[in-house]
Structure 1
Amino acid sequence: MPENGKLREKVIVKGSNFGNDKSKVKVYFVDGASERLATIINLDNQTIYCLAPRQLPGENRIKVVVDDKEVITDEVFEYEQAQNVSTIAGTQNVRKSEDGTLAEASFEYTWGIGAVGNNTVLVFQRDNPRVRLVSVNDNKVATIHPGFKAGKPAVTKDRQKVYAIGWEGGHTIYMYTKGTGWAPTRIGQLGAQYAGRVLSAALDASEEWLYFVDANKKFARFNVTTQEIEDIATLDISGSLHSNGVYIVYHPIYDCFFMSNQLTYSVYRLEKDGKCQVFAGSSTQARVQDGYREDAYFAQPNGMAIDEDGNFFIVEGFKAYVLRKISVEDGYVSTVAGMVDVASQIDGTPLEATFNYPYDICYDGEGGFWIAEGWGQAVRKYAVE
């Protein structure tokens, strides 16, 4: 009990032989996609008090595990999911680079963002280049690296380190660490062999190599410890890559990368050996159409993020201005927030909200998708609870 509720709802499970040691008991909410661990507040031999974890909307059964024994309830808990889009900092009507509180701070064109925990993100600004730290808990925006121009960063799984590759020139690589207050440290440079622009970087599961694709279709990697650079392949795909570069993201379930390209309106599956094929979208169709990934279309796919279940979230730019999702379960592509071809900045429910050229997105692991807006010059958040 109760029979339904939202995130962190207090749920009581009645039974017997639970014991009194919380360390020996686990409670999971089980839906069609996965099992999610609940937080146990207290228990006695016949009652467990726990908090409902974030889940997919719909019915869940509750599984109780004590030592090596388990049982699943016959009754179901109906999870009510709440979704909302909000502006964290910045506004489309102010084009400056001023630090201060969330309400006072302003941005210029942003196109890269990485979540580092505790309601904090690093934002990479294209115009008047700099890296900004946005902390909701501290109510502040601060410039931590003036003059550096980079796109999507790569964040380690423990969110203690962030890597970014310089967009053009010699492609200098910087590391930002939580222990130093996110101060930048130069750790290497790619050099002139990558004349094309580099907009995005991604770590694989080992977190030893920083992978990237330049605008000349070169797929390569940089070792963050030894500074070794290794060319992997020149991508065999039709059409050109966008001159600003492309976005890539690592997918832990598939153990490969996915790449978006504005000019071919597509998302590609990119293997570690450089094999590349269209995953969703079509180079001949620039429009927003939902459906299974073989039939769905994109107008201008930009930054991507992967949630804990393996679902893709992709922001779309020109002539779209929406947030799309590709379900890992069945490959269905849906529009989850924003209004197609409406470029503005309105907060609210996904059906009410609008975006002003969203350029990149990251996931914080706690139901929050943070969005860097280009034209909107703001940091937005799509929250799923």
Structure 2
Amino acid sequence: MRARFFLLLLLFVGCKDNERDDEGRHLPFDASKPIEVTSFMPDSGRIREKIVIKGSNFGNDKSKVKVVFKDALTERISTVIGVDNNTIYCLAPRQISGQNTISIEIDGKTVIPTRVFAYSASENVSTIAGGAGGTKTDGSLAEANFSYMHGIAALGDEKILVFQRDNPSVRYISVPDNTVITVHAGFQAGKPTVTTDRNTVYATGWDSPHTVYRYTRESGWAPSRLGALGTFARIRALALDQSEKWLYFCDRDGKFGRFEIATQEVEILNPALDIVKSGDGGYLIFDPFHDCFYMSVQAAYGIYKIAKNAQGIYEAAPYAGFNGNRVTNGYLSESAFAQPNGMTLDEDGNIFIVEGSGSYLVRKISAIDGYVSTIAGRTNVEGATDGAPVEARFSFPYDISNDGQGNYYIAEGWGVRVRKYAIE
């Protein structure tokens, strides 16, 4: 239906007279004249919706045209397909559901139509691979089996690394190639960390001496040993900051430090953060929007924020939860978590958390107002159901990773499945 609508719309606008010079070419942008927008169609849709904007003085050079969609959280630039002096053809970028304003910028001039674009996000949970546990069989997505997983790294383009706790190993999953391959046998790690370009993944062993390995796209994700963190209590995650020069860690006793990738030197930043000690330690992620870290601790039923104080020393403070072993939606200090595990940030700063026993949920902390909500699963109902988020069921989800393309990959513990939560 949409394709037919767009074809009819193209025929309609193609029949209209466009302003041309004496030789029949579309007129260039005239900086002495205003940009005018008379209409755009359609006025609602989803990601990659084809938008036709009508008006005048758009020029004939699409490289000079920028169409920006702004939702309640941020701005995103549309892909401009083409332009003649009276028409701009573009695609709607991924947004959050709701009303979007559209601005058209050409050579430093901007116009914002009074109408808004109603964006509708579609969400779905699906199973990528796994389900029959106890082994680590490679093969196709349908054939492959996994053991209990504690870590996952989204590599983009539907490719993933997962880190098994039982039958320790690192497995590479490629949906386009329909394959699962073991790339590192005998290594037990928790949550890995991924560079911004998604070409490199780092992980450390759970227990001392906490050997650090690097996996690169160039090497086909084969491991290379970097060094070791040394003698610490259990470490469940690594995190890169914006510089991507150091790997940060926090052991289960609250010792917070970093490992310099270039020199393999370890620096202790705080020998004893004020956190609830946990047998397995906590999951750690970095927030580039606020230059801080977040760490989930099961035994505390909450998430800490680790940031520098006025003296430049890293300290930990309760951020969300800490209201007992239960599930409650609400603002940061009002919310409650049953078993917060792996976390990830999206490109807008929203935090996504998976919860295991007593919950089996995917939760979200909004970057807009700090509200904690349940976005997938049903509280304390375990299962393997795919479909709409409200219908989906999980079995001990332990880690989650965002690929930057609207997809969140989830590694299950006892469920031994790799799941995908997609927002389109």
Say yes or no: does 1:71 pair with 2:111: yes
Task: Please state how far the C-alpha of 1:234 moved relative to its aligned partner.
Answer: 2.8
Say yes or no: does 1:346 pair with 2:397: no
Q: 1:85 aligns with which of 115, 119, 125?
A: 125
Q: 1:6 aligns with which of 39, 43, 46?
A: 46
Q: 1:256 aligns with which of 292, 314, 322?
A: 292
Secondary structure, counterpart of 2:299 in structure 1: helix
Task: Please state how far the C-alpha of 1:238 moved relative to its aligned partner.
Answer: 4.9
What is the aligned partner in structure 1 of residue 135 from structure 2?
Answer: 96
Q: 1:232 aligns with which of 269, 277, 281?
A: 269
What is the aligned partner in structure 2 of residue 31 from structure 1?
Answer: 71
What is the aligned partner in structure 1 of residue 282 from structure 2?
Answer: 246
2:58 aligned partner, one-letter code = F
Runs of 4+ aligned residues of structure 1 deviating over 3 Å after TM superposition are none
Structure with higher Rg: it is 2
- My pick for the range that moved more, 113-122 or 367-376, is 113-122
Secondary structure, counterpart of 2:113 in structure 1: strand
Percent of aligned pairs with the same amino acid: 54
Could you give the per-residue CA deviations for residues 223-260 of structure 1, whole angstroms, max 9, x where no partner exists?
Answer: 011111000113442532x2222100000101110000
Q: Distance in 2 between the 1:47 and 1:301 partners?
A: 50
Question: What do you get for the CA RMSD once the two structures are aligned?
Answer: 1.0
Could you give the per-residue CA deviations for residues 136-158 of structure 1, whole angstroms, max 9, x where no partner exists?
Answer: 11111111101111111110001
Say yes or no: does 1:55 pair with 2:95: yes
Secondary structure, counterpart of 1:340 in structure 2: coil
Secondary structure, counterpart of 1:294 in structure 2: helix
Secondary structure, counterpart of 1:23 in structure 2: helix
Equivalent pair of 2:254/2:275 in contact (CA under 8 Å): no
Q: Distance in 2 between the 1:10 and 1:235 partners?
A: 54
Say yes or no: does 1:111 pair with 2:146: no
What is the aligned partner in structure 1 of residue 351 from structure 2?
Answer: 312
Q: Distance in 2 between the 1:67 and 1:105 partners?
A: 53
Task: Please state how far the C-alpha of 1:19 moved relative to its aligned partner.
Answer: 1.2
Say yes or no: does 1:214 pair with 2:251: yes
Q: Distance in 2 between the 1:94 and 1:164 partners?
A: 23
Could you give the per-residue CA deviations for residues 76-104 of structure 1, whole angstroms, max 9, x where no partner exists?
Answer: 1111110000000101x443201111111
Q: Distance in 1 between the 2:107 and 2:181 partners?
A: 48
Say yes or no: does 1:285 pair with 2:314: no
Identify unmatched segments of 5+ residues in structure 2: 1-40
Q: Distance in 1 between the 2:367 and 2:187 partners?
A: 35
Task: Please state how far the C-alpha of 1:7 moved relative to its aligned partner.
Answer: 1.1
Task: Please state how far the C-alpha of 1:117 moved relative to its aligned partner.
Answer: 1.5
Q: Distance in 1 between the 2:276 and 2:208 partners?
A: 24
Q: Distance in 2 between the 1:174 and 1:123 partners?
A: 14
Report 1:366-385 matches (<5 A).
366-385=405-424
Q: Distance in 1 between the 2:112 and 2:160 partners?
A: 39
What is the aligned partner in structure 2 of residue 129 from structure 1?
Answer: 168
Q: Distance in 2 between the 1:143 and 1:22 partners?
A: 46
Say yes or no: does 1:295 pair with 2:331: no
Could you give the per-residue CA deviations for residues 98-137 of structure 1, whole angstroms, max 9, x where no partner exists?
Answer: 1111111110000100111111111001000000011111
Which is bigger in relative contact order (C-alpha 8 A, separation at least 6)? Answer: 1
Secondary structure, counterpart of 1:179 in structure 2: coil
What is the aligned partner in structure 2 of residue 269 from structure 1?
Answer: 305
Q: Distance in 1 between the 2:276 and 2:218 partners?
A: 43
TM-score, normalised to structure 1, is 0.97
2:390 aligned partner, one-letter code = L
Could you give the per-residue CA deviations for residues 197-219 of structure 1, whole angstroms, max 9, x where no partner exists?
Answer: 11100000000000001112110
Q: Distance in 2 between the 1:69 and 1:280 partners?
A: 43
Task: Please state how far the C-alpha of 1:306 moved relative to its aligned partner.
Answer: 0.3
1:377 aligned partner, one-letter code = V
What is the aligned partner in structure 2 of residue 200 from structure 1?
Answer: 237
Equivalent pair of 1:286/1:298 in contact (CA under 8 Å): yes
Secondary structure, counterpart of 2:375 in structure 1: strand
Counterparts in 2 of 1:238 and 1:34: CA distance versus 1, 3 Å:
closer
What is the aligned partner in structure 2 of residue 16 from structure 1?
Answer: 56
